[in-house]
A and B are shown apart, each in its own frame.
Chain A
Amino acid sequence: MKTKEIMTTKVMSVKPDDFAGEALSRLFRLKISGLPVIDEKGKLVGMFTEKEILTKVLPSYVEKVGIFRYEENPKAIKQKVIALASLKVKDIMRKDVVVVDEDTTLCEAAHLMLSQKVRRLPVLNASKEIVGIVARVDVVKALFEEYK
């Protein structure tokens, strides 16, 4: 089975110049954790995900300081959340996006998801335009349906 057989073709996306607040509302509305960012020429330029938002909101040193537990929410978090709404999607999005083509096998898609630690893979056609998106659940479902 290939990714073109399991991908979602109706791709929801956001634009690089959209406000992060609006993009975030879109994530909540669609009940998904990430959206591809597509520019005016139809090219995929990044991914806007919950992970990027958390990375932006939490201090960058949290991973370096080692083990500790927040007993209160730091004051700066509130200011960062407020400031986030006025930022543009392009300021927050992840720019190095892992992609697949339509003929990528299921196992390769699964392999990429595990090795690159991503939850969804945009599918590009020969002219590098986004034609679909494959989520982790799609791959798991397809694998079980094919081999059960």
Chain B
Amino acid sequence: MMKGIFLKLLSLVFLAGFFGFIAKATGMNTHQSFSITILSASILGTLLFWDFRLSFAFLGTSVLLVSKTIDLEHMIKFSSLEVILFLVGMMVLIGLLKDSGVFAWIVSLILRIRRLTARKFVFYICVISALLACTVDEVTSIVFMVAAILEICDYFEVEPTPFIIISVLATNIGSAATVLGNPIGILIASKSGLTFEDFIVKAFPLAAVCLFITIVILFFWYRKPMKKLEENIKKSGANEFLIKLISVPPERNLKIGLGIFGIVLFFISIHHRLEIFWGLEPNTVLLIVPLVASGCVMIWKWQKAREYIEKDVEWWTLLFFLLLFIQAGALKYTGATVFIAEKIVNSVGNNPNVLVGTILWISTIGSSVLDNVVLVAAFIPVIQGFYALNVTVQPLWWALLFGGCLGGNITMVGSTANIVAIGILEKDKDIRMTFFKWFWVGLTVGLITTCVVWVALVFLPFYK
């Protein structure tokens, strides 16, 4: 075991050093190549030592400061506090929704689907998974979807794995549809100036098309488990037992919780118009809406306010993001990203179509094995570097968003939603997911949906 750890550590040091060396050899200065080395070490750290990723992020950022690769002022500037605070606000709201029984209510609604058929079940879990993911976030939504799917599969005595995979694939697709679906959504919105409306007009329809195609693929791919489910539904008759399995008391809290979340969604959806009306900087209202809402929630539920902050906010993940944003910012601060952007333009030209394809496929393949936030954080300053080179940048942001989300479908470790769902399946059902059980369907869906996005971004003038 120690030998394995040592080998992994050696690979990390060697590869990070190698990337730094390559950077230096291609003409970067010492600070630029050093910032590449540190970011590579953090990215490799997440890949090889998942449980230690925050330690790598702490150490790497400290080294950047000590080596004067970045100064304190810019460290704070690049930490993207606005994104972190947005996520904190949303996590507090999610805590309230959970507390009010909103998610349990959604589970009960799924259990109450009447006149169930296998096709109806797969269609519903795809659509609900995608819609839930794009309104609350993929990791929160997958827990409730898995809960509902396991109860239904238990009742009809069918193997739940195919239906869990179906839900996760739809969740990852849905997470690209809005700013709220995935941390990379708000990160891209914040750095690109794209608004919630832009996402609704451009990302949502594309995600819907991907979802529709995925449903067709899944109907074919999982025809045997669906046939078995169909037979068992016919044998068991109506699902009266499932309909009354759980209830959500008390109704008043549920209504208030839903009301607050509805208001938040409303203000987020009109944030751009409010910013124009009040003369605020782009995305100011988008970022403060969750903060205002969570502030009000903590006044309303003041006895539980500390619990919302301490238990419902994923500080481990958020701190990792914050430090990673600083490390990616160091690339921009040292000028490494403009250098990389110039090199890319010199080698593939400044044809936006070629750049779209390059970024889409690199982010798709990259996020199939890496945390998509890591990849997107590293890519953002490079895309910002294209502004100076007169490249049409908007399609590149969509390419990065869709690549980061759709790539997560390819492998079983491609996104946090996958890992959470597999974890529950293993713990509750003693079912071990194997790499290839996931890979072939994930790869098929991942490749086809990425191709669809590629075609849309290249051929539809709408995305230019």
Interface residues of A, Cβ cutoff 8 Å to B: 59-61, 64-72, 74-76, 79
Contact = CB atoms under 8 A, between A and B. Distances in A.
B245 A66 contact: no
A74 B104 contact: no
Contacts of A76: 150-151, 154
Contact of B104 (A59, A66, A72, A79): A66
A71 B428 contact: no
A71 B249 contact: no
Nearest to B420: A64
A116 to B, nearest CB: 18
B245 A74 contact: yes
Given A68-B248, A69-B247, A70-B245, A59 B428 contact: yes
Contact of A72 (B245, B424, B428): B245
Given A59-B428, A65-B143, A67-B104, A72 B248 contact: no
A75 B104 contact: no
B277 interface: no
B101 interface: yes
A65 B101 CA distance: 8
Contacts of A59: 147, 150, 428
Contacts of A74: 151, 154, 245
Contacts of A67: 98-101, 104, 248-249, 253
A67 B249 CA distance: 7
A65 B154 CA distance: 18
Contacts of A65: 98, 103-104, 107, 143-144, 147
Nearest to B102: A66
20 contacts: A59-B150, A60-B427, A61-B144, A61-B146, A64-B98, A64-B143, A65-B144, A66-B97, A66-B104, A67-B98, A67-B104, A67-B249, A67-B253, A68-B247, A68-B248, A71-B245, A72-B245, A74-B245, A76-B151, A79-B154
A24 B98 CA distance: 34
Contacts of B253: 67
B455 interface: no
A71 B147 contact: no
Nearest to A66: B98
A61 B428 contact: yes
B463 interface: no
A72 B98 contact: no
B158 to A, nearest CB: 12
Contacts of B100: 66-67
A65 B244 CA distance: 17
Nearest to A83: B430
A72 to B, nearest CB: 5
Contacts of A70: 245-246
Nearest to A58: B428
A61 B246 CA distance: 14
Nearest to B94: A66
Contacts of B151: 74, 76
A62 to B, nearest CB: 8
B108 interface: yes
Contacts of B428: 59-61
A84 to B, nearest CB: 12
Interface centre among A59, A65, A72, A75 (most CB of B within 10 A): A65
Interface string B231-262: 00000000001001111110001000000000
Interface in B409-427: 424, 427
A59 B100 CA distance: 20
A125 B402 CA distance: 60
Contacts of A60: 424, 427-428
A43 to B, nearest CB: 21
